[in-house]
Structure 1
């Protein structure tokens, strides 16, 4: 599979180069320039097919020109000792729980896949990779688990003061581990701007093998695509009509991953998502990416610290507004509708819901008559374990779910006892020290 840039269709690079370079020189983001037709394979899988097998087969189909099937299977098997859970709530309503991973977040799957891909391919081809990422703490807790034993990957994780959590002593770089956590002065926006400035020096990036673990990196995004054929395989023999996904907005990584799955021939009929200031519905009912009002050439370069999935969404549909209108359905959801949906999920199905899951259900409820009248079904996406939103659950429902031990450990505050940095130069020196 080859990749191009959202801002230069003449560019054509391999998957490996897209992962290594992370962001093309033109300031856009990488997107597939060709999509494999996976129809025969998608219709072959069923509810007995393990998540890791789906990931391995899809990896092999997409990367067969670069890596053997054995290597592709190795990447997927090492990445996914866990798998999501798909539940049938009623005859026409399903839910994919994406949080059955290492720290209770859907991010666990994509980052684990990215790290497995890098470790496996760097062992084959040589070289090293260093993540430089901002984190609220969850990414550090995850990497503390999945980077153990990795010989070719390190991570510089940048936190706001007092937000470090979930790291164990042996994972720290000064104890021989793979992670160098650092607290930095400034707001989240200022810290992300500093990380972005590090990536503007392309020779420095290449010299140290720098990359990011968010969905700016196409390999991290690929790790989220696997959720869709897996959930389809789980429901295909339980329902014969059309089906739609209803999902929270997030940073739109799951939406673009779902759209790529459709391009692979996944028989999905559309995606319902709550309207936001970034992706809304026009007076005529069409989805509108508000950034599209500004020409790509007039925008600044993509920030590697901030996923640019809306730019990918623009690139996916190009100028074809009609196609976009027939696949993406933004729904205006009020806080009251969201909270009522959370209560209903609990009362009818015993499901604790965070704001994203409740918003997804509210979007489905607003359109269920139209979908169900056409013999359709919804698959809700639940990104994160509801115990991470205990305050919201307790406020809306009156009860809160129990937090599993692995998530408790990921939430444990950590005192670094190290100097707090305040400049890009200090951040660069930490990268150089690795």
Structure 2
């Protein structure tokens, strides 16, 4: 299997280069050369298969023979160490809970898969791999914990100062070992810009073996398709149309779902649900993609003004607005609407939504009201305890933290302060 750049389909590389480079030389994102449909028998027998077996089959389908079968089985088994349960919240409305991993966020799946894959590639070379990751919340913690102690790798996390929750921050600033946190005076978009500039800088690329663990990396994206298949494995009624509402920031999660649909999973429709950072819903409404500075909200992991994976979304549909809009709808919601949804769902169903899941729930309900058909699944991307202050204030209720989060909160924060200047970042990267 080869992987091409979204900026130039003639530029093709093998898996190792796509994963280790992260970003193509022309700043495009890597995509599999072929995304064929999986056998119909596999799709129809999902309910009879384990999550690990499903993940292995999907990974093998997308990666071809780029990784030996035994090694790929080890990687997928190490990735799927926890479940992604489907919980009925209302009639025909389900939450896909993706927060049962070590950092209690959906990004644990992608981070663990990528860390194992990069660890495999690191064993084949002498030079240390330096992983750069920009985070608006959960990516940093998932990647840092996924790579903690992985030989031949060093992780540098960039995050916007004061714009992630305390729990999220503690999950990647207290680890030490091969993990360094850079606290940037700016926004998530500043952090992402610094990472992208580092990949374009020839001096840094000659000094360091750089790669990225953001969802711009194809190794982060591929495992995000696994749990869409696992959803169908858990659905009792597979006769009705199924729609997914995905709370979206950098749009890697919904792109993983679009890959699953392209591989033959019978998903009828996707809803991209955002907070007021609504660049993609606005595109779906106006046909105009206009990135802009992000605004801070209570669903901070979605505070993204220039989502990288939009390039993959539009590439999957041959840059056709009509084709994309046929499969994807978009809605945006305010903090006030998010709070109200959290309150109403808890009052009626005693189900605690985190702010991101609440946005996904709102998008699903709005779509189902218009379409009046089908089974709806919204992604619950993080445990409510990761947004303790917001959730307790909104629900006027104490939230019991899982032991894993309590442990992180007791750790000592260690960061390196940084301006949003690239020269400052470049100098810091050489010093740490």
What is aligned with 1:407? 405
Query: 1:288 aligns to what?
Result: 287
Which residue number corresponds to residue 27 of structure 2? 27
Moved more, 326-335 or 379-388: 326-335
The more displaced of 243-252 and 388-397 is 388-397
**What is the Cα deviation at residue 46 of structure 1?**
3.0
Using the alignment, how far apart are the partners of 1:319 and 1:179 within structure 2? Answer: 38
- What are structure 2's unaligned runs of at least 5 residues? 292-304
CA positional deviation for 1:33 = 2.9
Alignment partner of 2:244: what SS? strand
Flag the structure with larger Rg: 1
Which of the numbers 382, 390, 405 marks the counterpart of 2:380?
A: 382
Structure 1 residue 265 displacement after superposition = 0.7
Deviations 1:205-230 (A, max 9, x none): 26522111110111111121112111
Report deviation, 1:26: 1.6
Alignment correspondent of 2:270: 271
Summarize the alignment of residues 187-266 of structure 1 with structure 2, pairs less than 5 Å apart.
190-202=190-202, 204-205=204-205, 207-235=207-235, 237-266=236-265
Alpha carbons 1:84, 1:98 under 8 Å: kept: yes
Distance, in Å, in 1 between the alignment partners of 2:427 and 2:319 is: 44
With normalisation by structure 1, the TM-score equals 0.83
Post-superposition offset of 1:81: 1.6
Task: Please identify, of 261-270 and 346-355, the stretch whose mean Cα deviation from structure 2 is larger.
Answer: 346-355
CA contact (8 A) 1:39 1:266 kept: no
Distance 1:39 1:400 in 2: 48
Distance between the aligned counterparts of 1:268 and 1:72, measured in 2? Answer: 26
Partner of 1:313 in structure 2?
313
After superposition, the C-alpha distances for 1:333-354 in whole angstroms (9 at most, x for unaligned) are: 4555434432332233321112
Number of residues paired by the alignment? 412
- 12-21 or 333-342, which moves further after superposition? 333-342
Match of 1:302 in 2: none
Structure 1 45/126 Cα, relative in aligned 2: closer, same or farther at 3 Å? farther
1: CA distance, partners of 2:346 / 2:257: 26
The aligned counterpart of 1:5 is 5
**What's the secondary structure of 1:330's corresponding residue?**
strand
The structural deviation recorded for 1:161 is 6.2
Change in CA separation of 1:399 and 1:288 when aligned onto 2, cut-off 3 Å: farther
Partner of 1:86: 86
Contact 1:279 1:287 in 2 (8 A): no
Q: What is the RMSD of the two structures over their aligned residues, measured on CA atoms?
A: 3.2
Q: 1:57·1:72 contact (CA, 8 Å) conserved in 2?
A: no
Instruction: Summarize deviations over 1:225-265 as a string: whole Å, max 9, x none.
Output: 11211111111x33311110012122211111111111111
* 8 Å contact from structure 1 (residues 287, 329) kept in 2: no
Q: Which residue of 2 aligns with 1:65?
A: 65
Q: CA deviation at 1:271?
A: 0.7
Shift of 1:139: 4.9
Shift of 1:69: 1.7
Distance 1:138 1:281, change over 3 A: closer
SS of structure 2 residue aligned to 1:146: helix
Alpha-carbon shift at residue 431 of structure 1 (Å) = 4.7
Output the CA distance in 2 between the equivalents of 1:118 and 1:50: 25
Normalised to the residue count of structure 2, the TM-score between the two structures is 0.83
Quote how far apart the aligned CAs of 1:273 are.
2.5
Residues 20 and 211 in structure 1, CA contact (< 8 A), matched pair in contact too: yes
Change (3 A) 1:117 1:419: closer
Q: Deviations over 1:37-73 (max 9, x none)?
A: 1143642543453333222221222223212221111
> Partner residue of 1:296?
none
1:398-426 residue CA offsets vs partner (Å, 9 max, x unmatched): 3243211112333446343x875556566
Partners in 2 of 1:421 and 1:339 — Cα distance? 33
Partner SS for 1:402: coil
4+ aligned runs moved over 6 Å, structure 1: none
Q: Which residue of 1 aligns with 2:300?
A: none
Alignment correspondent of 2:37: 37
Shift of residue 100, structure 1, vs aligned partner = 0.8
Change (3 A) 1:391 1:70: same
User: What pairs with 1:327-366 in structure 2 (closer than 5 Å)?
Assistant: 327-366=327-366
Deviates more, 1:59-68 or 1:95-104: 59-68
Q: Partner of 1:151: helix, strand, or coil?
A: coil
In 2: Cα distance, 1:414 partner to 1:122 partner: 30
How far is 1:32 from its partner? 2.7
Q: 1:344 to 1:287 in 2, by over 3 A?
A: farther
